[in-house]
């Protein structure tokens, strides 16, 4: 696609845009937070609301003691019936014969009271068996007791390994965050990512430090940290352009006097590959960020082998295409330039785009980067 017009604009208006550089100042705090050992969940078994087996006797009938009124009343009935209904008592003592007409009453009176009968031996075992089988504490304990590995199953992990061209291969595992967005932070650079249906994500990131610290932060505040040593970090220069949302911003590298669209013009339309840098033939571009996330954080990183600077200058330019979505509006971006000696240069930029009658044109946001040849000297 040919450009109708290119508009050069010096990036003289700087502001703390997007707040995306805060990890450069607060990375240690985040790393300390996510690097802490997870607190193991403590569980206290809850005893079921079941009476002990020894209390099963409460279901038996309560037998009154011999001193209670029920046990003494039959004797009184027998005495009254004998002296009131019988003939005149002889002198040698009262007669114990029952009066006529009341044999049933006396039989009931001299019978052993029902309340004093011993409990049937079969009743207690039946009640005890019911308590043991129905309300055994083993059943609720097995249902409520958390399994030992439940607290560990949701732990978020991140492993990293240095690969060729000072890149780092990262793998994030978050079993309880399947399909979840997260933000990956590294030395002031940050971009959006998302886990798959299994809660995993893999991404290769250009290292911006020899001892590279990476932080994966999820929306609920959970996350993980990984530190990777990059042996060949000093062999490459890096330039980062990052922004949020659809701003139309992009990074271009014009190698050794290349023009727009030439082989030496490295951009999102011609990213090249890592083999080109390893062979010393030029640089390559890596695009970072998942655009399916709401208001995604995006970044483009240009990598160039440091020992090739003598072949000529490399011009790094931040560009912005004027579109219907950004015309007449303010856009923001940030540049981060990393040199082989470990020095870093970061700039924030905010600019108002031209009116919509300039749709299709491009802005050159100058002074966002230093020329690589000059920077290497």
Token code pair at residue 194: 């998302």
Q: What is the C-alpha separation between 135 and 361, in angstroms, rounded?
A: 79
Q: What is the pLDDT of residues 254-307, one digit of tens each?
A: 998 898 889 899 999 999 999 989 988 899 999 999 999 999 999 999 999 987
Kindly give, in sequence order, each residue whose CB lies less than 8 Å from that of residue 137, ignoring residues fewer than 6 positions away: 47, 48, 50
pLDDT at 148 over 80: no
Instruction: Note the pLDDT tens digit of each residue in 60-89.
Output: 444 444 444 444 444 443 334 333 334 444
Distance CA 242, CA 251 (A): 9
Q: What is the pLDDT of residues 330-341, one digit of tens each?
A: 999 999 999 877
* Cα–Cα distance for residue pair 335/350, rounded to 1 Å: 12
Mean pLDDT of the residues in the chain: 73
Is residue 134 left, alpha or beta, with left meaning phi > 0 and alpha meaning psi from -120 to 50? alpha
Q: What is the mean pLDDT of residues 334-353?
A: 88
Q: What is the pTM of this model?
A: 0.64
How far is 146 from 154, CA to CA, in rounded Å? 14
Phi, psi values for residue 105, rounded to 5°: -65, -40
Which pLDDT score is estimated for 29?
Answer: 54
Query: 50: how many CB neighbours lie within 10 A of its CB?
Result: 14
Percent of the chain with pLDDT over 90: 43
The runs of H, that is alpha helices, within the chain are 22-35, 69-85, 103-110, 123-134, 138-144, 150-153, 274-278, 372-376
Higher pLDDT, 191 or 339: 191
215 is written with which tokens?
Answer: 């932080």
State how far Cα 356 lies from the chain centre: 43
Task: Indicate the range of 28-37, 185-194, 361-370 predicted with least confidence.
Answer: 28-37
Cα distance from N-terminal residue to C-terminal residue, the chain: 36
Strand ranges inside the chain, DSSP E: 6-10, 157-163, 167-173, 181-186, 189-194, 200-206, 211-217, 223-229, 236-244, 249-255, 265-266, 284-288, 297-305, 314-321, 330-338, 344-352, 362-366
DSSP string, 262-288: STTEEBTTB---HHHHHTTS--EEEEE
Mean pLDDT of 341-345: 83
Specify the pLDDT at position 7: 56
Residue of 377, 374, 371 whose CA lies nearest to 239: 371
Nearest to 209 by CA among 240, 242, 254: 240
Predicted pLDDT at 364: 87
């Amino acid at each position: 696609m040919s450009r109708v017009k290119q508009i050069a604009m010096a990036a003289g208006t700087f502001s703390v845009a997007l707040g995306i550089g805060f990890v450069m100042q607060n990375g240690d705090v985040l790393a300390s937070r996510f690097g802490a050992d997870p607190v193991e969940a403590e569980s206290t078994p809850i005893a079921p609301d079941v009476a002990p087996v020894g209390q099963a006797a409460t279901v038996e009938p309560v037998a009154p003691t011999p001193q209670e009124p029920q046990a003494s009343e039959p004797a009184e009935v027998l005495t009254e019936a004998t002296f009131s209904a019988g003939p005149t008592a002889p002198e040698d003592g009262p007669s114990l014969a029952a009066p006529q007409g009341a044999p049933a009453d006396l039989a009931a009176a001299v019978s052993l009271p029902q309340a004093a009968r011993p409990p049937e031996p079969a009743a207690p075992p039946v009640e005890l068996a019911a308590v043991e089988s129905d309300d055994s504490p083993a059943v609720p304990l097995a249902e409520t007791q958390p399994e030992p590995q439940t607290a560990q199953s949701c732990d978020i992990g991140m492993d990293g390994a240095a690969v060729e061209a000072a890149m780092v291969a990262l793998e994030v595992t978050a079993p309880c965050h399947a399909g979840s967005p997260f933000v990956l932070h590294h030395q002031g650079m940050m971009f959006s990512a998302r886990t798959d249906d299994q809660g995993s994500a893999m991404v290769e990131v250009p290292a911006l430090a020899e001892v590279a610290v990476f932080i994966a932060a999820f929306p609920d505040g959970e996350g993980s940290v990984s530190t990777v040593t990059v042996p060949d970090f000093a062999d490459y220069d890096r330039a980062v352009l990052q922004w949020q949302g659809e701003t139309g911003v992009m990074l271009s590298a014009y190698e050794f006097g290349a023009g727009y669209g030439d082989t030496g013009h490295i951009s999102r339309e011609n990213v090249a590959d890592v083999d080109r840098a390893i062979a010393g033939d030029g640089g390559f571009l890596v695009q970072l960020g998942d655009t399916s996330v709401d208001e995604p954080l995006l970044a483009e990183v240009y990598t160039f082998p440091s020992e090739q600077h003598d072949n000529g200058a490399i011009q790094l330019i931040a560009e912005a295409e004027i579109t219907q979505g950004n015309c007449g509006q303010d856009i923001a971006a940030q540049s981060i330039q990393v040199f082989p000696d470990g020095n870093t240069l970061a700039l924030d930029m905010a600019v108002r785009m031209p009116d919509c009658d300039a749709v299709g044109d491009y802005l050159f946001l100058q002074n966002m980067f230093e020329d690589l040849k000059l920077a290497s000297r």
